[in-house]
Amino acid sequence: MAMQYQLNDGPLGAYVRGVDINHLTPDGFNFICQLLHDRGVITIKTDGMSEVQQIDFAKRFGELQKNFLDDSLDNRFPELLIVSNILENDKPIGSTDAGRFWHTDGAYLSTPHSVSMLYAVEVPFANGKALGDTSFISMGAAYEALSHETQQQIESLRGVHSLHFRYATKSGSVIGTEELKKKFPPVSHPLAISHPVTGRRCLYVSEGYTTSIEGVDDIQGQRILDQLLNHIKQPAFCFRHSWSVGDLLIWDNLATLHLANFDYALPLRRLMRRATVSGQSLG
Ligand SMILES: O=C(O)CCC(=O)C(=O)O
Ligand SMILES: [Fe+2]
């Protein structure tokens, strides 16, 4: 079957069929990259994909970055993060709360991840409907819809992003230890970035990681953040992916935010594997 694709309504999302990711020509790969950068998030429908195939394909986008959640990495392939609610011997086999807040992967790093790739091994299903959707926001469309005045106001501002805030403050999780705080101190990125590949201006702010605005007092900074975080959630900028087993969802971390929907629980099982590509400084 030849490669076919279909765009979603709105600024985000495309579905691609008929791609043999193991034998994708350079032209075929460039096409996928371009579609990803045009649409922020794309889904390749596959008939199944091994860990090695996922890793090899992800490496075509750049160097892979291992996640800091050591206990949630695939035992045999530590390049892959397991995202799952499954327990083995009463212990989670992967990260159970990845995506709990709107976020972009690696925002807590000085060089955030450029691309993430999530593959569905098991999808929870009830009453004829898949559960555990993943939602996305187009941060380019959200930036373009800001008033000129707000664009000017945030032009030179930098958001502070913190892993400790995500885990200790937002989740009250034991992952937010002092050791982690030292290993990943807060970093700052411009509130509006120029996308390194497309040049498109995108908002770069998230509920999960952004704690404050550099050099702006807390109350005023929080006011600006709240205003932006409300603005980006408008349905016109959003897309929600309903999973099938074999879906390979690829997103551009610099042009989108994402959120996992926790509308399922055991005995309904969900099992995903994620590969993440290293990025660069956002300025
Ligand atoms: O499980 C999901 O739907 C997304 C989780 C997430 O944020 C991630 O894998 O980066
Ligand atoms: Fe994520």
The pLDDT tens digits of the residues spanning 130-185 come to 999 999 999 999 999 999 999 999 999 999 999 887 766 666 666 657 778 888 99
| 263, two tokens | 């509308």
Mean pLDDT over the full length of the chain: 95
Average pLDDT estimate for 23-42: 96
For residue 130, the cross-strand partners are 125
Q: What is the dihedral of CA 139, 145, 147, 150, to 10 degrees?
A: -10
- Report how far residue 255's alpha carbon sits from residue 69's, in angstroms, rounded to the nearest whole number: 24
The verdict on the CB of residue 247 being under 6 Å from ligand 1 is no
Q: What is the DSSP string of 207-238?
A: TTTEEEETTS-HHHHHHHHHHHHHHHT-GGGE
Q: Is 252 helix (H, G, I), strand (E, B) or coil?
A: strand
Q: Measured in angstroms, how far is the CA atom of residue 164 from the centroid of ligand 1?
A: 18
- Report how far residue 92's alpha carbon sits from residue 27's, in angstroms, rounded to the nearest whole number: 40
Q: Which residue in 277, 238, 273 sits closest to 258, CA to CA?
A: 238
| 176, two tokens | 């937010």
The verdict on the CB of residue 98 being under 6 Å from ligand 1 is yes
78 CB neighbour count, 10 Å cutoff? 12
Q: Which residue has the tokens 């101190």?
A: 185
Q: Which residue in 162, 273, 131, 133 sits closest to 225, CA to CA?
A: 162
| Percent of the chain predicted with pLDDT > 70 | 96
Q: Cβ contacts of residue 230 below 8 Å, gap of 6+?
A: none
> pLDDT: is 31 or 176 the higher one?
31
Phi, psi of 185 (to 5 degrees): -65, 160
* pTM of the model as a whole: 0.96
Contact 233, 118 (CB under 8 A): no
Identify residue 46 by its one-letter amino acid code.
T
Ligand 1, atom 3, residue with closest C-alpha: 260
The verdict on the CB of residue 106 being under 6 Å from ligand 1 is no
Q: Measured in angstroms, how far is the CA atom of residue 223 from the centroid of ligand 2?
A: 25
pLDDT in tens, 228-268: 999 999 999 999 999 999 999 999 999 999 999 999 999 99
Burial of 41 (0-12, 13-18, 19+ CB in 10 A): buried
Q: Measured in angstroms, how far is the CA atom of residue 253 from the centroid of ligand 2?
A: 9
Ligand 1, atom 7, residue with closest C-alpha: 99
The verdict on the CB of residue 201 being under 6 Å from ligand 1 is no
- Ligand 1 atom closest to the CA of 99, numbered from 1: 7
Domain locations along the chain = 4-277
Ligand 1, atom 6, residue with closest C-alpha: 99
pLDDT in tens, 39-96: 999 999 999 999 999 999 999 999 999 998 889 999 999 999 999 999 999 999 999 9
Q: Which residue has the tokens 């055991």?
A: 266
Q: Measured in angstroms, how far is the CA atom of residue 53 from the centroid of ligand 1?
A: 20
The verdict on the CB of residue 258 being under 6 Å from ligand 1 is yes
Given a cut of 80, is residue 110 above it in pLDDT? yes
| 25, two tokens | 């020509």
Q: Cβ contacts of residue 183 below 8 Å, gap of 6+?
A: 68
The verdict on the CB of residue 99 being under 6 Å from ligand 1 is yes
Q: What is residue 175's predicted lDDT score, i.e. its pLDDT?
A: 63
Assign domain 4-277 one CATH number from 3.60.130.10, 3.20.20.10, 3.40.50.2300, 3.40.50.300: 3.60.130.10
Identify residue 228 by its one-letter amino acid code.
L
The verdict on the CB of residue 272 being under 6 Å from ligand 1 is yes
Residues that place a CB less than 5 A from ion ligand 2: 99, 105
Phi, psi of 153 (to 5 degrees): -60, -40
